[in-house]
Each structure stands twice: as C-alpha cells, then as structure tokens.
Chains A and B, each alone.
Chain A
C-alpha cells in the first residue's frame, strides 16, 4: 500500500500564477484534508473534502479552492499566488467519522513562489 501520494514533490511559481496540487489518498480512505505548513511552523488546516464536497474550511482566502473526485483523489488549487503562499502543502487522508484518529499524511508538495 503506497499510503498517501502527493504530486508534484516540488514546484516553483511566480507571483500571480495559479497552481494545482494533487493527492491520492490511502486505499480505503474516503476523506481528504489539506494543510499548509510554513517554514518553522505547524500545519494549518485549509479544508476537508468528503463525498466530493467541501465539508470544513479553515481561515484561508477564496484563492484556495479544492476538488474531490469520485475515486476520492483530490486537488488543491491556489490562484493569484503570493510570496506568502510559499510553504509545504500536506494532504492527509482518513475514513469518515472516527477515522481522523488514523489520519495519514503524505510527504507534501513544497511550493516556492518567487
């Protein structure tokens, strides 16, 4: 089992551009959450998807949007990139309900905005 797979591993963009990050959850998991981890900080919750809908959202602007596909994979889109969006973006998968106790993180996508 490959666990949670994220792509790409690294990405360099310039201010104002748009970016799409991808995540494949662990086999059997149906819920995907996205976190932003700035350098030297703890992960910050962006949003969570279940049954192809956004179920929860953290304190992030509308420039951050997402999608979940029928096979449970997910995308994170960020529009109009700012320098402050440079961070490690983590995808985590779980089973709905009490599955958050077994939350499994991917290795992340390192986004650099120049």
Chain B
C-alpha cells in the first residue's frame, strides 16, 4: 500500500513558469515531510522539508504548502529553470517510535522545463 500518493507523474513547464507537485498521505502519525530532487545517475538530494506545525515554508524559489486537515502537501517551484528538470519525490516520516527516520516516498514526478 502506497503510504504517500504523488501527482502528476510527469510535468512540462515553460521556463519562468510555476511548477506544482502534489502529495497526499493517510497516516496522521507522520510529522516530517521532505521533498527530494533526483537527477539521472544520482541519488535523491534533500530539497526542502516541513513539519505539520506550519502551513508554508519557503527557501528561495521552492515553497512547500501544507494542509494538515486535508492531509496534503505540495511543492511549488517559482520561476522554473531548465536546470530544475529532474525527478521530484515527496516523502513522509515519523520523528519517534520504531519507524523513526524511515522515509516513505511517493512515486515521483518527472519535471521538464523547456527553455
């Protein structure tokens, strides 16, 4: 059972546009929600993360919006650039208990930014 559901599977955006990727989860015990970026031939790299006590976190062109009641969170990439073309994964984790630190990943979104 996929604990974190991600959409869309692929996304094509014009340079300068906004890229939006959405994720949903069921387990309300999750309390840490990171986004990872992966380039071909590389491992995932942490991009930005949020905890459910805030509704939004911004780092440069990247923003996470978090809706605790809807159990949804999304990644917004402002002013998208060709260098942002990569696969993006949302994930969720527990900060306590027997599964501390284990990441549950979504299936990924292949982002292509056209120049």
Does the CB pair A103–B108 fall under 8 Å?
A: no
Query: A89-108 CB contact bits vs B (8 Å, 1 = yes)?
Result: 01010100011111111111
Does the CB pair A48–B102 fall under 8 Å?
A: yes
Give the docked Cα–Cα distance between A45 and B94 (Å): 14
Contact residues of B between 90 and 115, Cβ < 8 Å to A: 91, 93, 95, 98-108
Chain B contact-residue range equals 20 to 34
The A-B contact count (CB < 8 A) is 62
Q: Hey, which bits of chain B sit against chain A, CB under 8 A?
A: 4, 6, 32, 34, 41-46, 49, 89, 91, 93, 95, 98-108
Return the 6 tightest CB-CB contacts between A and B, nearest first. Answer: A100-B101, A42-B105, A105-B43, A43-B105, A45-B102, A107-B43
Q: Hey, which bits of chain A sit against chain B, CB under 8 A?
A: 4, 31, 33, 35, 40-45, 48, 56, 58, 90, 92, 94, 98-108
